[in-house]
């Protein structure tokens, strides 16, 4: 009788205090519940600790900037602001003028070159053999307002080669001995057929020792064996390393000048190109021919829209901040569209007369 009353009292007491008891001690009341006493895996702890650690952010210290000069990079500049259209300003009438109120003076190519030669004389900058660069500003607007011309890189084959300061070596592949002989005269370091491919495959000739590889289409099937070794140097028509005219491709690789159109960081519709066209001691006619070749090659990327693609061209020379403006329109290729349209109109007139 006493045992039953004690059991009822204990169960009632347990019902009152059970919500307040620590869950760890529930095993006393429920012995079938499984409680794990061991620690978690080591990998889980490491992942947890890595998530807790904050990444250190390196803050670059910049000097004090005036409030009126603090501009966010996210703000887009106006295209007209970058173009700096000065057509509404006055033209210069003498040798001294305020640039703020006048147009940029347009120099002839020979005059601009002579100005740079004077500033780079040994008595001034003392750089008589400096590179002469063509600085080109582009309007990258597309056919519609929503489209833009993507930044591009090209290699132009200049008519008057010069020392560009790079060491370039070319290897030529072909099955025809006559083509290999022409490639050797054009400046190829190595020329050969299947025997040359075998030497490269065996490792006797290292691919990294050469700048470019060109090939004739008659050997392209045998050349596929070393495609994995050549990687990006494997000849292909887009890169101008696979074609029928090996001498022309070799000359373009050895003497060609590569340039890139770089978009403005705050206006994608405005881009600039800086490309060397020669050195100061060269004859001005040779430099002008190279400048003409560069202008015509750049203008080939013009989209099918109205308005100029090349906005402004200047002649620059390293160490001097001067940019001497040159009229580039005289060097552009004349379009043949008006002649074609006139021919079509003549044909239509003849047809109407016959009817």
Q: Please give the full DSSP string across 181-204, using - where no structure is assigned.
A: HHHHHHT-SEEESHHHHHHHHHTS
Structural fold of domain 170-254:
Rossmann fold (3.40.50)
The closest alpha carbon to 131, from 117, 118, 144, belongs to 117
The three-class DSSP label of residue 176 is coil
Residue 292 neighbours by CB distance under 10 Å: 19
Structural fold of domain 109-162+257-331:
Ribulose 1,5 Bisphosphate Carboxylase/Oxygenase (3.30.190)
User: Considering the chain, what is the average pLDDT of its residues?
Assistant: 82
The closest alpha carbon to 174, from 238, 132, 222, belongs to 222
pLDDT of residue 351 exceeding 60, the answer is: no
Q: What is the pLDDT of residues 286-334, one digit of tens each?
A: 999 999 999 999 999 999 999 899 999 999 998 889 999 999 999 998 7
pLDDT of residue 153 exceeding 90, the answer is: yes
Choose between 194 and 71: higher pLDDT. 194
Please report which confidence band the pLDDT of residue 71 belongs to, taking 50, 70 and 90 as the band edges.
Answer: low
CB 170 within 8 A of CB 189: yes
CB 253 within 8 A of CB 261: no
Give the CA distances from residue 109 to residues 238, 239, 339, in Å, rounded to whole numbers and listed in that order: 34, 32, 30
CB 100 within 8 A of CB 90: no
State the sign of the Cα–Cα–Cα–Cα dihedral 84, 85, 87, 89.
Answer: negative
Strand 257-260 with 153-156, pairing: antiparallel
Q: What is the pLDDT of residue 355?
A: 34
Please report which confidence band the pLDDT of residue 342 belongs to, taking 50, 70 and 90 as the band edges.
Answer: very low
Q: What is the percentage of the chain residues whose pLDDT exceeds 90?
A: 57
Q: What is the pLDDT of residues 2-60, one digit of tens each?
A: 555 655 565 665 555 555 545 554 445 455 555 556 555 666 777 777 776 666 666 66
Give the CA distances from residue 242 to residues 42, 104, 106, 213, 236, in Å, rounded to whole numbers and listed in that order: 57, 45, 42, 9, 5
Where are the domains positioned within the chain? 109-162+257-331, 170-254
Distance CA 292, CA 297 (A): 9
Q: What is the percentage of the chain residues whose pLDDT exceeds 70?
A: 76
State the sign of the Cα–Cα–Cα–Cα dihedral 107, 111, 117, 118.
Answer: negative
Q: What is the pLDDT of residue 265?
A: 85
């Amino acid at each position: 009788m006493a045992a039953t009353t004690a059991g009822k009292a204990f169960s009632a007491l347990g019902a009152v205090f059970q919500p307040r008891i620590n869950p760890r001690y529930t095993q006393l009341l429920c012995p079938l519940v499984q409680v794990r006493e061991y620690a978690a895996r080591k990998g889980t702890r490491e992942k947890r600790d890595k998530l807790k650690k904050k990444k250190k952010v390196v803050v670059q210290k910049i000097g004090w900037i005036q409030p009126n000069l603090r501009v966010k990079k996210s703000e887009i500049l106006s295209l007209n602001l970058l173009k700096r259209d000065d057509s509404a300003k006055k033209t210069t009438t003498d040798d001294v003028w305020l640039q703020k109120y006048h147009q940029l003076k347009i120099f002839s190519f020979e005059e601009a070159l002579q100005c740079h030669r004077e500033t780079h004389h040994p008595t001034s900058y003392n750089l008589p053999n400096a590179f002469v660069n063509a600085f080109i500003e582009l309007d990258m607007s597309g056919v519609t307002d929503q489209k833009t011309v993507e930044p591009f890189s090209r290699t132009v084959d200049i008519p008057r080669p010069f020392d560009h300061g790079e060491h370039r070596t070319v290897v030529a592949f072909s099955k025809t001995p006559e083509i290999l002989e022409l490639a050797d005269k054009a400046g190829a370091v190595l020329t050969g057929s299947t025997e040359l491919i075998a030497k490269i495959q065996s490792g006797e000739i290292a691919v990294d020792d050469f700048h470019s590889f060109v090939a004739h289409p008659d050997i392209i099937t045998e050349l596929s064996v070393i495609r994995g070794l050549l990687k990006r140097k494997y000849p292909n028509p887009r890169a101008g390393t696979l074609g029928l005219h090996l001498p022309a491709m070799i000359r373009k690789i050895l003497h060609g000048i590569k340039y890139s159109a770089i978009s403005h960081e705050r206006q994608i519709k405005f881009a600039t190109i800086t490309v060397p066209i020669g050195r100061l001691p060269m004859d001005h006619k040779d430099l002008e021919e190279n400048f003409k070749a560069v202008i015509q090659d750049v203008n080939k990327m013009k989209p099918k829209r109205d308005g100029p693609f090349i906005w402004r061209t200047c002649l620059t020379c390293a160490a001097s901040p001067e940019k001497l403006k040159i009229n580039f329109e005289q060097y552009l290729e004349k379009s043949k569209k008006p002649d074609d349209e006139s021919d079509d109109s003549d044909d239509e007139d003849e047809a109407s007369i016959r009817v």
